[in-house]
């Protein structure tokens, strides 16, 4: 029983460490061939948005809005992939008997 508790404690520490790594990480997404770049944290929080002046057309703000949405979505998808990479192995050990016990 002591070994199981020690394993659970170790997994919890690894999970907290991975969560902190994600919070500290930044990933980018782009649209329009790099004309719009969004940077998000590993947790998906928008941190920065860079818009190339070439894409700014006062008569066509819809295209710019679409590019911003696409860049933010791309960055969010990249953050999700990063989270899956960091958390996937840990999350797999938390459910379905991951500690050798049913349902734990």
Domains recognised in the chain with CATH numbers: 23-95 (3.30.1310.10)
pTM: 0.69
Q: What digits encode the pLDDT tens for the residues 19-39?
A: 888 888 999 999 999 999 999
Which helix (H) or strand (E) segment holds residue 49: the answer is strand 46-51
Q: What digits encode the pLDDT tens for the residues 23-82?
A: 889 999 999 999 999 999 888 889 999 999 999 999 999 999 999 999 999 999 999 898
Closest CA to 42 of 26, 30, 29: 26
Question: What pLDDT does 57 receive?
Answer: 93
CA distance 65 to 78: 20
- In the chain, helix, strand, coil percent, each to 5? 55, 15, 25
36 token code pair: 């719009």
């Amino acid at each position: 029983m002591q070994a199981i508790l020690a394993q659970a404690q170790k997994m919890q520490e690894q999970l907290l460490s991975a969560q902190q790594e994600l919070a500290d990480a930044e990933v980018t997404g782009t649209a329009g061939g790099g004309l719009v770049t969004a940077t998000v944290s590993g947790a998906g929080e928008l941190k920065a948005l860079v818009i190339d002046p070439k894409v700014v057309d006062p008569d066509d703000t819809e295209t710019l809005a679409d590019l911003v949405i696409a860049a933010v979505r791309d960055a969010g998808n990249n953050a999700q992939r990063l989270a899956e990479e960091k958390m996937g192995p840990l999350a797999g050990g938390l459910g379905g008997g991951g500690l050798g016990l049913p349902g734990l």
